[in-house]
Structure 1
């Protein structure tokens, strides 16, 4: 007889994982650990109607303190960083990477994260590895003011090798339309403030795996360092007149024009590269321009704001232990720049 388990799918282990999730003292179902939460930010804990274990999760979507609440949704993965985690058999940080890749996009609207769902696919389900991964997600949710409300674990022999896995995340938040950040608020003269990254985050790993091939162990600290979570930084400056924000991932700071109106550009000044990116440049032979469009190069998040707000906003972010960089200014594009589709210029 050939049953499901002999075919490579262990339903019992999957059930044990769900039971563990339901019964664990999940930090993501307790109050957020974040400080500096504005008074009008929804309390996610009280809004979960039903979570993990059902066919679908339910969440109370009434936001009486907002004039026109808009839902914000984001989805992402961590790319081939999963191959590095699988090599080390270390799943204790990749969950934070997954949450970070989603919520750092979400907060670019000025929105507040509410809940998170994950998709975890494996060749063979290892209970300890799955628990380590999900614990990392739950802890990152706690740090990011949202709740892990559901997800899916898929055991797919034949699609993945036994030690292989992949993951995807989905986050939902809310923003009051009149307080939304974006291109509609940006004007010439606005300043560009960068916030430091923790390292590579979750981008460029197909290249990094080649650059550090056969030397993973020596560079584990760099390769496995989790993505910086910027929710607390964004929350702490909601009281100020922030015009726009950009999450710096694949494409680097060249992604800033995604939050600019068509007639504007940014003029940027180069900052000091962190050591890990200098090492990549040395080993790969990439030009500085190529490096900047592949990696975050030490800048993980950018705020665009008026000069008058710069000092106070920078002070708030520095209080959280995050370094900031004065990257440049927003300017009008010339007719030639519009014709040539130039959105970023460097001093």
Structure 2
């Protein structure tokens, strides 16, 4: 009996239709003047222009969205996953002071559904535009046998540029630096293996909260860094507050102030019977990005955020410490969140 690729579960025509749809969609214009050859070729070409950088250094970041894709499949809601993917990559990218340049995605599924793939890619393309990052290429893989019919997964890859003479990070962070918290939009894209268990019995009523897209921070940080001497950024993802320790030098630690944790995180704590320490080492607990600045720059920062109508709070400060750790009076967390 004759058999072809479509009989085996791979529909090349659908894949070609998706590429054609992407090529016809002109909604994204970020860095469009620098795209020499984009979607549809064997490789994407980007014309790099670094005249504004004294010592340009390319920066890369790659990530996925974890088991959040399973909830998207369960509720057939794919519109926010594209933004999740872009955000997980570019929010990492900017932590050293980099400007995003371009983005590529990998989308794999058991059976290609054009409506589903287009919903995902629309969100991805819009997020790239919001992050001032060109979507220049990607890969769509239909893999029956590896994935079930309604299963999919995705990965992203972002490239940016930073002036090596102006890198942010532990070399800039000093004792006494203030730590600013910028709010998350929700759970973002971490902890979903736990969240799916915690909310298993009534997950439908939580779907809007669970599928809310990850906040994008590049636009905010781009505005702040033109006026402010930023020492470091920490993207608060898996591992929670432990991410703060990735950008401080040896012999220092972090002293944190208690804060009002959003209700969704308190619900997880209650249902899972988690301690504050465990919760704070697992989820972002309402903090999407943390910024380190000199204490004397705090008033200037506050004025900038007022003008930008940007919410923030003073999370803590950098302290002397033999062990690189964060400190927080957990009894005060109970008081603030009672």
TM range (shorter): over 0.9
SS in 2 for 1:21: helix
Quote the residue 2:32 is aligned against. 45
Counterpart of 2:150 (choices 139, 163, 177) is 163
Structure 2 regions of 5+ residues with no counterpart?
A: 330-338
SS in 1 for 2:194: helix
In structure 2, what is the Cα distance between the partners aligned to 1:50 and 1:9? 27
Quote the residue 2:253 is aligned against. 265
Quote the residue 2:299 is aligned against. 311
- Is 1:329 aligned with 2:317? yes
Stretch moving more, 55-64 or 88-97 = 55-64
In structure 1, what is the Cα distance between the partners aligned to 2:310 and 2:112? 37
SS in 1 for 2:66: coil
Size of the aligned set, in residue pairs, is 327
Deviation at 1:45, TM superposition (A): 2.3
Change (3 A) 1:229 1:154: same
- Is 1:343 aligned with 2:330? no
In structure 1, what is the Cα distance between the partners aligned to 2:97 and 2:155? 23
Quote the residue 2:179 is aligned against. 192
- Is 1:277 aligned with 2:259? no
Runs of 4+ in 1 over 4 A off after TM superposition: 318-321
Quote the residue 2:221 is aligned against. 234
Quote the residue 1:224 is aligned against. 211
Deviation at 1:214, TM superposition (A): 3.2
- Normalising by the residue count of structure 1, what TM-score does the alignment of the two structures yield? 0.92
Deviation at 1:112, TM superposition (A): 0.4
CA-to-partner distance for each residue in 1:80-132, whole Å, 9 max, x for gaps?
Answer: 00000000101100000000000000000111000000000000000000000
CA-to-partner distance for each residue in 1:304-326, whole Å, 9 max, x for gaps?
Answer: 00112222223434544442111
Q: 1:236–1:317: 8 Å Cα contact kept in structure 2?
A: no
CA-to-partner distance for each residue in 1:36-56, whole Å, 9 max, x for gaps?
Answer: xxxxxxxx2221111001000
In structure 2, what is the Cα distance between the partners aligned to 1:311 and 1:99? 32
CA-to-partner distance for each residue in 1:200-253, whole Å, 9 max, x for gaps?
Answer: 000000000001103221011211100000011110111211100000000111
Change (3 A) 1:100 1:320: farther
Q: What's the C-alpha RMSD, in Å, of the aligned pairs?
A: 1.2
- Is 1:296 aligned with 2:284? yes
- Normalising by the residue count of structure 2, what TM-score does the alignment of the two structures yield? 0.94
Q: 1:116–1:171: 8 Å Cα contact kept in structure 2?
A: yes
In structure 2, what is the Cα distance between the partners aligned to 1:129 and 1:321? 35
In structure 1, what is the Cα distance between the partners aligned to 2:214 and 2:234? 15
In structure 2, what is the Cα distance between the partners aligned to 1:318 and 1:156? 50
CA-to-partner distance for each residue in 1:156-179, whole Å, 9 max, x for gaps?
Answer: 000000000000000000011122
Q: 1:196–1:322: 8 Å Cα contact kept in structure 2?
A: no
In structure 1, what is the Cα distance between the partners aligned to 2:316 and 2:135? 37
Change (3 A) 1:154 1:198: same
Structure 1 regions of 5+ residues with no counterpart?
A: 32-43
In structure 2, what is the Cα distance between the partners aligned to 1:144 and 1:45? 14
